[in-house]
Structure 1
Amino acid sequence: MAQHGGVRAGEGDGAAASDGFGTRLQRIIAERGGLCVGIDPHSYLLADWALPDDASGARELGLAVVEAAARGGAGIVKPQVAFFERFGSAGYAALEEVLAAARAAGLLVIADVKRGDLGTSVEAYGEAWLTPGAPLEADAMTISAFQGVGSLAGPIRLAAESGKGLFVLAATSNPEAAAIQTSVAPDSGRSVARAIIEDVTVQNQAIGHVAGPLGVVLGATLDLSVFGIDVSSAPTPELPVLAPGFGHQGARIEDAASIYGEYARMLVVSESRGILSAGPDGLADTIATRAAEVRTALA
């Protein structure tokens, strides 16, 4: 197992919050490509890596992924918080170390938390993950707008003020979601997925950056036209898109440009199990290969 002493909290590129999340994401994509390596310490992966199925195993896997991502040329990582949360407070302590190490290594960190609520509750979720200096600080978080994009006012304001980002669930790959996300509002004729994209775009326009700090999640295994999304033209400002579904879930990286069309301009290609299954010894090489494939596919 690789040693992790070379990555310490407080090191890294120190990108200023004033850059804005969208600007920093654009820079990462331009320099390293859009590969996002998931950090998902599943029980079976911990066993495959000869690690215990507990907080210490999750920590070891997480730190190894951070180190390999930095060596392999990836610029973005996405810890799936649920796989740390299952170990309670010890899991959160492990996650804090992984988050800090990733940001210290100059990686852009998306906390995959999928929180959603309203009022002061959703604002508190935003404070937990987006406040500079917070124990769980990340560069962006995934978030649900089931109560409407307007319900996310608190996290949106915090993201704009502190140079952070949000990825709002819009069209997700799980089949159970299709009935809701393809539903069309009789007053506007918009699908739920399209409405989320358009409402997020309005918020980005109000914030006023060239590249929005607010993005959406669009699954790579979907026919996005079924969800009312026309990928032949993309919103303005530039819209970050987090794209799960590559690798283990079946989507092919070489198809990314055709799947997302104009939405591919700020595409974050997320893959976890397909990469992590390489094991600790082959991880950096697998990341380097996949990062090169993403750069080629989206060139």
Structure 2
Amino acid sequence: MYEPFGTRLRARLDKYGPLCVGIDPSPELLEAWGLDDSPAGLERFCRTVVDAVGDVAAVVKPQSAFFERWGSRGIAVLEEIIADLRDAGTLVLLDAKRGDIDSTMAAYAEAYLDHGSPLAVDAVTLSPYLGFGSLEGAITSAIANDAGVFVLARTSNPEAATLQSKVAGQIFDGVAAANAGRAPLGPVGVVVGATLPSLDHSLDHLNGPILAPGLGAQGASPADLARLFGRVRHAVVPSVSRAVLADPEKIRDLTLRYRDDCAHHLSV
């Protein structure tokens, strides 16, 4: 039996500090590391990252697309990396951004949240743009499996602002309703970019975690976290990828630096 996702996440954040490290084995990073753009290069890249951060980051976030591009061989690497991280006790958030009708979402939930799946992770990112209600099956499955989901709300890419600002309030309200009465954090989180100039909606009622991508390469700094998230800073999970992955020899040191800087600004 697992503890609920929110309980496990809170414990990891308290023990290791507030940071999620992305595993983004893009062709550009493989080349920068001197690795072949191949499943073998993919595996070596991922194992280097896991060895460097698996015991110092609260959460590790593989980007599914960079594995899917290699078909079954890439998915086999993803399965192995997920298993290694979970065996080590690291929380795994799969960045898959899935979103579809009820029957399809049930299949996605079975793939990523069911304990019997080889791709089972602690949490997965979801897209709500077929309507928040379309996520109900995945949220129900997450709760049944003591897993979590992170729903895209205000992401860090600049072209998203016009659309997302119109519907973010509905997403936040839906998340708050799903998390009502759960402690210390509910299983339904949101994705809110640390690069945003400001927030148009209060997040005080969410009662769930806030994944905040955009540190480093996208221009956000740890200082932006306190500015944006104010009274909900205790629930923020800052996410960094390219800024710590550029040099395989420096991943661990850069991760520790970002982790400590984020902890400082979020505790002020």
Q: Report the TM-score when normalising by structure 2.
A: 0.95
Q: Which residue of 2 aligns with 1:124?
A: 107
Of 151-160 and 174-183, deviating more is: 174-183
Deviation at 1:209, TM superposition (A): 4.1
RMSD across aligned positions (CA): 1.4
Q: How does 1:232-251 map to 2 (within 5 A)?
A: 234-235=204-205, 238-251=207-220
Mapped to 2, the partners of 1:119 and 1:81 lie a distance apart of 21
Mapped to 2, the partners of 1:217 and 1:131 lie a distance apart of 22
Deviation at 1:263, TM superposition (A): 2.5
Q: Which residue of 2 aligns with 1:58?
A: 42
Mapped to 2, the partners of 1:46 and 1:265 lie a distance apart of 35
Instruction: Give 1:213's aligned amino acid.
Output: P
Mapped to 2, the partners of 1:75 and 1:144 lie a distance apart of 23
Q: Secondary structure at the match of 2:250?
A: helix
Greater gyration radius? 1
Deviation at 1:176, TM superposition (A): 2.3
2:244 and 2:250 in contact (8 A); partners too: no
Q: Which residue of 1 aligns with 2:185?
A: 211
Deviation at 1:147, TM superposition (A): 1.5
2:212 and 2:239 in contact (8 A); partners too: yes
Mapped to 1, the partners of 2:244 and 2:10 lie a distance apart of 23
Match of 1:35 among 5, 13, 19: 19
Q: Which residue of 1 aligns with 2:51?
A: 67
2:195 and 2:224 in contact (8 A); partners too: no
Unmatched 5+ residue regions in structure 1?
A: 1-15, 184-191
Q: Which residue of 1 aligns with 2:175?
A: 200
Deviation at 1:111, TM superposition (A): 0.1
Mapped to 1, the partners of 2:126 and 2:84 lie a distance apart of 23
Identity of aligned residues (%): 43
How many residues were matched structurally?
267
Match of 1:290 among 246, 253, 258: 258
Unmatched 5+ residue regions in structure 2?
A: none
The answer on 1:80 being equivalent to 2:70 is: no
Q: Which residue of 2 aligns with 1:133?
A: 116
Runs of 4 or more above 3 Å deviation? none
Mapped to 2, the partners of 1:248 and 1:29 lie a distance apart of 23
* Cα distance change on mapping 1:255 and 1:224 into 2, 3 Å: closer
Q: Report the TM-score when normalising by structure 1.
A: 0.86
